[in-house]
Structure 1
């Protein structure tokens, strides 16, 4: 009987803990302040190349409120190095291009902790499109 109580507490506690972590990470006013030195986000559509967690539709929905219509894309001259991109002459990284508005880009910046954990930089994809992507700060 004690095991059932423990399992019940675990079954209830895990989703609550996950919900709390997601709220702190993506919505809380206490866990991220956009650094003052970052330029303001321009209005209009923005294209962002993603290659990690944001390639998964449920993550995109949690981060910016919709899954969008991602397009497959390739970034040549780089390879994945854990959570980052590293220049590599023969490298190739497959990912997705997301088209987002300024508000959604701000939410992506928050998720990536722009200016603290990642920088948002311009890259040129294999098909010639210029897009944003996130690279780890060193």
Structure 2
């Protein structure tokens, strides 16, 4: 009987651990309950401006099931500060504009932990279109600072 090397064990265990984490984060009924105070998601197409992990096609595919056909977009009057946006009169944030349906927006809300970590607010992009953007909740920042 041949013993597995630590590297072979790691090569097998890593994808399994990643798959488990992704399931727990994105699909598990135990990791996120949409807070009751949030308004229901309206049917129809939604535009979402993203500037972080969701600018990467594989992440979008894992989060809402497709890479989509994003367009480059710019949000003026803000700057990136870690995981959030901060008002900055001369600032600008480059990102992508996604077009999603209600089910996909619900999956984005879950990924961003809407109502727990982030809120979803309307912004006007440089080209005049409006879109949702996720902004950190003050309570989420305070909780993470304490840890």
Report the TM-score when normalising by structure 2: 0.91
Deviation at 1:8, TM superposition (A): 1.0
Unaligned runs of 5+ in 2: 139-147
In the alignment, structure 1 residue 47 sits paired with structure 2 residue 47? yes
Deviation at 1:14, TM superposition (A): 0.6
CA distance in 1, matches of 2:60, 2:131: 18
Report the TM-score when normalising by structure 1: 0.97
The residue number in structure 2 matching 1:115 is 115
In the alignment, structure 1 residue 38 sits paired with structure 2 residue 47? no
Deviation at 1:111, TM superposition (A): 0.2
CA distance in 2, matches of 1:122, 1:50: 12
1:31-86 alpha-carbon deviations (Å, 9 max, x no partner): 00000000000000000000000000000000000000100000000000001000
Matches within 5 A, 1:1-138: 5-138=5-138
1:68-109 alpha-carbon deviations (Å, 9 max, x no partner): 010000000000000100000100000000000000000000
CA distance in 2, matches of 1:135, 1:124: 14
CA distance in 2, matches of 1:102, 1:82: 28
Runs of 4+ in 1 over 4 A off after TM superposition: none
Number of equivalent positions: 137
CA distance in 2, matches of 1:9, 1:43: 46
* Aligned residues: CA RMSD: 1.0
Unaligned runs of 5+ in 1: none
